[in-house]
Structure 1
Amino acid sequence: MSAAGNGECEDPRIERISKAIRVIPDFPKPGIKFQDITTLLLDHKAFQDTIDIFVERFKDKNITVVAGVEARGFIFGPPIALALGAKFIPLRKPKKLPGEVIFEEYVLEYGSDRLEMHVGAVETGDRALVVDDLIATGGTLCAAINLLERAGAEVLECACIIELPELKGRARLAGKPLFILIEADDT
């Protein structure tokens, strides 16, 4: 893995974060190099660095909503939301939220899925940040953006720890800014 450019000076915390992420070859199937962030969570300093970098980036952007994509966005989103003084909204897989929901369907490599959000979680004019652990093809982030914008929020940016650049997910975001910490190598 290498540190992401993002047009900023290299932050020494990025190396600690990168080293804390375990890469598991051939999981869940041959040819996949799984980026395992559970080892990052075991390293309290690297985990804190991750949250701190995101908070530093977004602290002056008047974020009112941090939307975390199921499931790993639920790990990173809440501490970022608390630090920013924003509400946290879980974007869930189907039939996980009680009550009335709105949803956005999206296409996966083999089939489709959807994200759901409670009706009324977002108000017109909310300024949203979408958080997930990784961007691959970009389908999930696109669904999250569409869902939040349909509900009246302005999505300012997406934030992920890891990008798999060879899958070109960033291009699917239609120009929406994406902040990442690490680019995963395909070697």
Structure 2
Amino acid sequence: MNIGLFFGSFNPIHTGHLIVANVMATTTDLEQIWFVVSPQNPFKKNKSLLHEFDRLDMVEKAILDNNLFRASDIEFSMPKPSYTIDTLIRLQEKYPQHSFKLIIGGDNLAQFPNWKNADKILEYFGLYVYPRPHSAPTDLVNHPNVKLVNAPSLDISATFIRECLKNEHSIKYMVPEAVEEYIIRKKFYQ
């Protein structure tokens, strides 16, 4: 099976993530999208990062009714910070019957050469890139293993959602209803 890997802290998962994943699963050759919940992004230091199991729970609640989606905790047992290449290798070893592609936003493409073993990721896995506001131009768009995917350009951010919660503003429609209920019940981000 051809699997698209959507990495993120998902702090929290929101409708922007789900729309992009759905476009990837329904308009490309990707047969399933796995949401890889990252315990710690090596490029981000986030004081408001919820525990990894809470974020995994939110992802599972968000994708419960979609058999094209799956949540992955593969990085929970790996050294931190997690590097994408190490996770890709671990997944390939664990699931040799699948081929994996990395899904990233266009805003990350210009910085992609700074990633650990970026050349190996391109060579052995490849990138599926969705549009993001304020993406810097890069020659990587011409790479044979980079596929640009036409998807809605949504500027929903987890940072904005957390700020809304902190200020007791509604997050309705920004996150799935089950995620909103879970966040409110657990009093996250307040």
**TM interval, short-chain normalised:** 0.3 to 0.5
Higher helix share: 2
Greater relative contact order: 1 or 2 (C-alpha under 8 angstroms, separation 6 or more)? 2
Q: TM-score, normalised by structure 2?
A: 0.37
Q: TM-score, normalised by structure 1?
A: 0.38
Higher strand share: 1
